[in-house]
Amino acid sequence: MIGEEVPSDQYYWAPLAQHERGSLASLDSLRKGGPPPPNWRQPELPEVIAMLGFRLDAVKSNAAAYLQHLCYRNDKVKTDVRKLKGIPVLVGLLDHPKKEVHLGACGALKNISFGRDQDNKIAIKNCDGVPALVRLLRKARDLDLTEVITGTLWNLSSHDSIKMEIVDHALHALTDEVIIPHSGWEREPNEDCKPRHIEWESVLTNTAGCLRNVSSERSEARRKLRECDGLVDALIFIVQAEIGQKDSDSKLVENCVCLLRNLSYQVHREIPQAERYQEAPPNVANSTGPHAASCFGAKKGKDEWFSRGKKPTEDPANDTVDFPKRTSPARGYELLFQPEVVRIYISLLKESKTPAILEASAGAIQNLCAGRWTYGRYIRSALRQEKALSAIADLLTSEHERVVKAASGALRNLAVDARNKELIGKHAIPNLVKNLPGGQQSSSQNFSEDTVVSILNTINEVIAENLEAAKKLRETQGIEKLVLINKSGNRSEKEVRAAALVLQTIWGYKELRKPLEKEGWKKSDFQVNLNNASRSQSSHSYDDSTLPLIDRNQKSDKKPDREEIQMSNMGSNTKSLDSNYSTLNERGDHNRTLDRSGDLGEMEPLKGTPLMPDEGQESLEEELDMLVLDEEGDHVSYSPMQKI
């Protein structure tokens, strides 16, 4: 009898039928969709879990498949399976030699690992579920099994405490067994090197989704992913192939681009021998006032660069910066900042309609243009030469806030280049102003504090040392909106302070003071009163109730005006150099800086739409480039068993 297979100290359960074969027939009939036999009843959950240990493989496979069905979109059953100690049994069956057994067990684990109950994921991890899944992955040769394994790993990867477990145990297996062989990329290219991933697209999507999530973990995880042999090469090959096939909106492209975006985060600091790419900052004495040196290092005279707002000379030589010549093709992590990947992001910005892909592409550009390093300078110039500035500026009109914020951050970093600054000032200021709250010409969206602050910081970067952009700001009702933010009393302290920096920059132009005064503006309108901030003061103390009004034409020992004053200390004039090129991407719900997580596969409601996980963002003390956060994959549904 079946009961003889169950230890007496476990569960009490009644026989399923009068004969042993009856119990098997009951589950077989469910799988085949046929009528139940006479005297059959639906087994209780403890009975199903007990059958996982039965001596007949047919019983094990049927019980695992039935558990998979029971757990589909049923959080209570998932919790009960965990409490009844069913997860260790299912993990143990992953090593079973019969495919129908380990496939059913893996399918049940995939459904159990999907959802908001993080304890289920932890339970799988604690009984060495990740190494067991990797062992099974290395043995798998068929599509359906590999798809379920990678889907389970994708679900598990949305939990922070499991990310490094996956990096340490599964990274090389996922790369060597899935990404590389099914991408079409070959280490030694030949004429037949072409994408082979159409049939395996679902598996590649799961795998890229898993790695996308773990790339949002600490820098050690990103380092291991960047240095994993062949991973970056194959990812870029996949995206290039999808673009070539006019499929720029697939989930596979989204996961790959989000992963590449995360790998580009802090790339100028985290790659091996990063110091070889670092560039010395301009001499502070030469970088203040209107005679600031260009981002290319050559100091220009008064008649050449921005001098009290005068238009720079159109020197074609200054408009071209070629990437360094290479003696051998770029490989591995070096591809993250080469012209080919920049062209990928530009293509996606122009062709894709998927918000997450647009956000990821703009976020990757923001990351690559962050920091004072050689390739950042090259990429800023290359994006201008490829006519990509307008494509990024167009994203400011998107109805998706995260896309707007990513575009704003990218434009801010691009504006470090003097010629980019001029073009952005001409063409992007109107849309930047439109996205600010208040006024008659406002976006229909109510953007979050972080997005508003990002837009304000970008405006400040663009109008600094750029009189024409400052005039454009005035012409587009920007002054009204800035003063409203400053004095309305219903904006946050961060927003008030960011607006105050822009107002201070505007007032610094003596050429604009008389026109502003004729329009009725007063000097006091360009000062910030902290008492107007609607939110209470934080633990930080602020000694000054107003910002000092700095004459842009006077000599000063301070850094250039585009150096943002830290929100936590308005009186400080010192700031990390790299912070100048980055914008914060902090989310209030947790502490991560990447993209979006959540249970997207099942399309259940998410807490948000972060490029990318909802389960958190990494909060770093300095200003950050944008990373991409976590998602989960789909449930497995056993179609003949969806209805009982």
Contacts of 404 (CB under 8 A, 6+ apart): 395, 396, 398, 435, 445, 447, 451, 455
Q: What is the pLDDT of residue 297?
A: 38
> Could you write out the DSSP letters of every residue in 113-132?
HSSS-HHHHHHHHHTTHHHH
Which structure tokens are listed for 483?
């003063």
Which structure tokens are listed for 347?
């293509």
Lowest-confidence region among 302-306, 388-392, 507-511: 302-306
Asked if pLDDT for residue 593 goes beyond 50, the answer is no
Q: Which amino acid does the sequence have at 192? A: D
Residue 85 exposed, middle or buried by CB count within 10 Å (0-12, 13-18, 19+): middle
Lowest-confidence region among 373-382, 407-416, 616-625: 616-625
Q: Provide the pLDDT confidence category of residue 300 given band limits of 50, 70 and 90.
A: very low
The model carries a pTM of 0.77
Place of tokens 């062709």: 351
Query: What's the distance, Cα to Cα, between the start and end of the chain in Å?
Result: 26
> Could you write out the DSSP letters of every residue in 236-299?
HHHHHHHHHTT-TT-HHHHHHHHHHHHHTTTHHHHSTTGGGGB-PPPPHHHHSGGGPPPTTS--
Q: Provide the pLDDT confidence category of residue 562 given band limits of 50, 70 and 90.
A: very low
pLDDT in tens, 451-499: 999 999 999 999 999 999 999 999 998 999 999 888 877 888 899 999 9
Asked if pLDDT for residue 364 goes beyond 60, the answer is yes
DSSP helix, strand, coil percent of the chain (3-state; round to 5): 55, 0, 45
Q: Which amino acid does the sequence have at 137? A: L
Asked if pLDDT for residue 612 goes beyond 50, the answer is no
SS3 sequence of 511-562: HHHHHHHHCCCCHHHHCCCHHHCCCCCCCCCCCCCCCCCCCCCCCCCCCCCC
581 closest CA partner among 287, 275, 217, 281:
281
Contacts of 212 (CB under 8 A, 6+ apart): 255, 258, 259, 262, 595, 612, 628, 630, 631
Q: What mean pLDDT is reported for the chain?
A: 75
Alpha helices (runs of H) in 264-396, residue ranges in sequence order: 267-270, 284-287, 339-351, 355-368, 374-385, 389-394
- Identify the residue with better confidence: 564 or 359: 359
Q: How confident is the model over 142-163, as a mean pLDDT? A: 95
Q: Which CATH class is domain 43-127?
A: mainly alpha
- Identify the residue with better confidence: 571 or 250: 250
β-bridge partners, 269: none
Share above pLDDT 90 across residues of the chain, in percent, rounded to a whole number: 51
Q: How far apart are CA 453 and CA 499, in angstroms?
A: 8
Other residues' Cβ atoms within 10 Å of the Cβ of residue 429: 26
pLDDT in tens, 85-134: 999 999 999 999 999 999 999 999 999 999 888 999 999 999 999 999 99
Nearest 5 degrees, angle CA 565-CA 430-CA 454? Answer: 30
Q: What is the pLDDT of residue 251?
A: 95
Q: Which amino acid does the sequence have at 83? A: K
Q: What is the pLDDT of residue 486?
A: 84
- The sign one gets for the Cα dihedral 307, 313, 315, 319 is positive
- Identify the residue with better confidence: 301 or 451: 451
Asked if pLDDT for residue 15 goes beyond 80, the answer is no
- Identify the residue with better confidence: 169 or 562: 169
Contacts of 541 (CB under 8 A, 6+ apart): none
Asked if pLDDT for residue 231 goes beyond 50, the answer is yes
Q: How far apart are CA 472 and CA 493, in angstroms?
A: 26
Q: How far apart are CA 602 and CA 584, in angstroms?
A: 30
Ranges of each domain in the chain: 43-127, 472-531
Asked if pLDDT for residue 601 goes beyond 50, the answer is no
- Identify the residue with better confidence: 184 or 322: 184
pLDDT in tens, 22-41: 333 344 444 455 566 677 77
- Best mean pLDDT range from 292-301, 431-440, 455-464: 455-464
Q: How far apart are CA 337 and CA 343, in angstroms?
A: 11
β-bridge partners, 278: 373
Q: How far apart are CA 370 and CA 379, in angstroms?
A: 10
Q: Which residues of 195-214 are buried (b: 16+ CB within 10 A; e: fewer)?
A: bebeebbbbbbbbbbbbbbb
Q: How far apart are CA 460 and CA 125, in angstroms?
A: 47
Name the maximum alpha-carbon separation found in the chain: 99
Other residues' Cβ atoms within 10 Å of the Cβ of residue 146: 21
- Identify the residue with better confidence: 541 or 408: 408
On whether the CB atoms of residues 590 and 223 are closer than 8 A, the answer is: no
Q: Which amino acid does the sequence have at 69? A: H
Place of tokens 């300095």: 622
- The sign one gets for the Cα dihedral 127, 227, 223, 345 is negative
pLDDT in tens, 265-292: 999 998 888 888 888 776 544 443 333 3
- Identify the residue with better confidence: 581 or 233: 233
Asked if pLDDT for residue 304 goes beyond 90, the answer is no
Q: Is 373 helix (H, G, I), strand (E, B) or coil?
A: strand
How many residues belong to the chain?
A: 644
Q: What is the DSSP letter of 198?
A: S
> Could you write out the DSSP letters of every residue in 66-81?
HHHHHTTT-HHHHHHH
